[in-house]
Structure 1
Amino acid sequence: MRRFGRTLVAAALAVTVGAGTAGWAAGDSRQEVTGPPPGTAAWRADTSGPALPDPAGASPHEVARFFAGLDGARQRDLLRRHPLVVGHLDGAPVALRYEANRQAILATGEARYASLASPGRQILAFDPRGRGQVAEVFGDLERAAHVSVIVPGTDSDATGHDASRTAHTGPAGMARSLRAAAGADTAVVAWTGYTTPVGVGLDAAGGRLAQAGAVRLARFTEGLDAVGAPDPVLFCHSYGSVVCGLAARHTDATDLVVLGSPGMRADSAAALHTRARVWAARGPSDWIADVPNVEFAGIGHGTDPASPAFGARRVPAADVRGHTGYFAPGTQSLAAFTALAKGEVR
């Protein structure tokens, strides 16, 4: 991760002095996964009942109304026929999506995803394309009084979702830590629903992947609203904060919390044009502080959200270690995050 920070510095400086970047882009570029899920063609061609909502065009609220008009047998029939589509449809019933994604994961036959189908896992979204995307729920999303969403950064994907990590890091580890601290009335979603940058290079320094991710994040939060979930708190780590910055005006989040952020592609909190309260945390040993807060020719992510000039509310983080320690038990940051997740901060 320190190499990532140094490379962002180098990339920003290289562009500033006019150095070429073609070699970096060729070595680092990832193709973002966009559009409806695999199986959409068969879904669209299905004439076994009333017309099905188009995964690419129907809003999550339209999807919710469609499923509300079906009996249980018809819902299960669609699950059986089209598990990848049903599991991916924002606005579809939560429990139905869990079961659809379990079946879709098993159907891949891939060992790298097998643990995601284990009993008790609550996989709200799964897409096997590319490095894979996944959203996992911790807690009871259908009955929760409060909902939070973890939006991770670089090197996050479905393939590594269950990889061994230092405790309380990675999207699932962060979500588990916050859920444990917040208690039973709070559900937390580890949302790796976009193609993240890999390692170092221009993908991490640029906004292309974040722009695609912002569209998906906005639709995901609309899907939460469509099934009656409370307006969420978004916790956006590292490159995930770039995604949240671009999605901010299109979500109904109550609070938008960035941690270890390289920037949000905005000059100020007001420039995000969001009704959410904007918060920022930066630990004293987080290497992200060494990243130049510039934006030039598409490189860099702009003003430091943790700086007074940005205008975000500050989250105490004096005892956070490194770039990934914000959810460690006992830290000031986790205590503050917990209060925000439970709606206790006015």
Structure 2
Amino acid sequence: MRRITRTLVTAAMVAAVVAGTAGWASGTAQEPVTGPPAGTAEWRAAGLPDPELMDPAAVARFFAGLGPQERRRLVQAHPTVVGNLDGAPLDLRYAANARTSPETYPGARVLAHDARGRGQTVLVYGDLAKAERIAVLVPGSDVDAGRMDSLTRKATALRTATGGRTAVVAWAGYTTPLGVGLDAASGELAEAGAERLARFADGLRAAGVRPEPSVFCHSYGSVVCGIAAHRLKAKDLVVFGSPGMRAENVAGLRTTARVWAAKDPTDWIDRVPNVAVAGYGHGTDPTTPEFGARAVPARDAKGHDGYFAPGTSSLRAFAAIAEGDVR
């Protein structure tokens, strides 16, 4: 019975996407990247504290007890660990990832780079240490370290729309689904991503970043944000092009953040069934009145990936939310 249900839900989602995009969509099963950073075995062998036993606050305390020379030595000897330890000082993470990241991203610094799997990357536009407002962008399917273009366009568009006042984080910090298939219909990758997202946000706080972020969640990324919501210390949760957040309504998210939702009339996500059966499907459409999210105007956005296009009402609204200009 479970296999039949799974097949029917997936078939419905795939058929909906094909109909909505006039093309074929396929999915390839993905294994989420979890656990401590690459290089942890060597880190432990050097007598350093086990990353698996430290939360971000403990990581921050560890580095606070080191002198400048010890910190530099760790960056040189263990860059893949230092660069991906949530709670480590920002400047050390930037320095470590400058040593290991094979890509260069104009205008951005690399706050995390994990080469395992398809690769995960976290980019920062602006100065997290000094910014009064912070936005974190969580992408949906088909984004990884080698395919960041869509996410970086959104990040730079939002930073420009805020006049450069908001520091923007492009957080490709989890294993995303590829195409549309069982991974996109299930919550397995989102659950792993939610753990990483919540820890990342805790790590910013532990590293001295004080503003609570506005978190913008696209497509499958909104599933990640929905699962993480009760742990995620955020000012706002903004979902767009969402297949559901694995909650019946805003109250079910158990968050103190303001929750916003946008969907434009031409987005194919509108054709994806909002079901939740046997662990597949993601539930209520967040843009419906019964869900209870605040509406974000998006009638002039185009398609599933057009919400950050220059001049759109959705981008203007996103910028106002990030800047705290709406209540």
Query: Fold conserved (TM > 0.5)?
Result: yes
Q: Is the 8 A contact 2:10 2:181 kept in 1?
A: no
Which of 81, 85, 89 matches 1:85?
A: 81
Match of 2:63 in 1: 67
Match of 2:126 in 1: 139
Aligned positions of 1:242-321 closer than 5 A = 242-321=223-302
Q: Is the 8 A contact 1:149 1:191 kept in 2?
A: yes
What amino acid sits opposite 1:214 in the alignment? A
Match of 1:40 in 2: 40
Aligned positions of 1:232-251 closer than 5 A = 232-251=213-232
Match of 1:153 in 2: 140
Report the alpha carbon displacement of residue 284 of structure 1 after superposing the two structures with TM.
1.0
Which of 151, 168, 175 matches 1:188?
A: 168
TM-score, normalised via structure 2 length: 0.91
Match of 2:103 in 1: 114
Deviation per CA, 1:307-342, whole angstroms, max 9, x where unpaired? Answer: 011110100111111001111111111111111111
Report the alpha carbon displacement of residue 13 of structure 1 after superposing the two structures with TM.
9.4
What SS does the aligned partner of 1:126 have? Answer: strand
Match of 1:197 in 2: 177
What SS does the aligned partner of 1:95 have? Answer: helix
Segments of 4+ moved more than 6 angstroms = none
Aligned residues: 310
TM-score, normalised via structure 1 length: 0.86
What SS does the aligned partner of 1:209 have? Answer: helix
Report the alpha carbon displacement of residue 9 of structure 1 after superposing the two structures with TM.
6.6
CA–CA distance in structure 2, aligned partners of residues 275 and 212 of structure 1: 22
Please, which moves more after superposition, 64-73 or 143-152? 64-73
Alignment CA distance shift 1:275-1:87 (3 Å): same
CA–CA distance in structure 2, aligned partners of residues 343 and 102 of structure 1: 32
Match of 1:130 in 2: 117
Unaligned runs of 5+ in 2: 1-7, 16-24
Q: Is the 8 A contact 1:9 1:290 kept in 2?
A: no
What SS does the aligned partner of 2:311 have? Answer: coil
Deviation per CA, 1:140-197, whole angstroms, max 9, x where unpaired? Answer: 11110011100000000001125xxxxxxx2111111001111233100000100000
Alignment CA distance shift 1:319-1:212 (3 Å): same
CA–CA distance in structure 2, aligned partners of residues 53 and 197 of structure 1: 33
Q: Is the 8 A contact 2:40 2:81 kept in 1?
A: yes
Q: Is the 8 A contact 1:8 1:204 kept in 2?
A: no
Q: Is the 8 A contact 1:245 1:266 kept in 2?
A: yes
CA–CA distance in structure 2, aligned partners of residues 10 and 318 of structure 1: 29
CA–CA distance in structure 2, aligned partners of residues 53 and 185 of structure 1: 37
Q: Kindly indicate whether residue 11 of structure 2 is the aligned counterpart of residue 10 of structure 1.
A: yes
Pairwise CA RMSD: 1.9
Match of 1:110 in 2: none
Q: Is the 8 A contact 1:151 1:191 kept in 2?
A: yes
CA–CA distance in structure 1, aligned partners of residues 10 and 290 of structure 2: 21
Report the alpha carbon displacement of residue 95 of structure 1 after superposing the two structures with TM.
1.3
What SS does the aligned partner of 2:86 have? Answer: coil
CA–CA distance in structure 2, aligned partners of residues 54 and 86 of structure 1: 12
Q: Is the 8 A contact 1:239 1:262 kept in 2?
A: yes
Match of 1:76 in 2: 72
Alignment CA distance shift 1:10-1:43 (3 Å): same
Identity of aligned residues (%): 59
What SS does the aligned partner of 1:100 have? Answer: helix
Q: Kindly indicate whether residue 99 of structure 2 is the aligned counterpart of residue 103 of structure 1.
A: yes
Match of 1:173 in 2: 153
CA–CA distance in structure 2, aligned partners of residues 176 and 37 of structure 1: 28
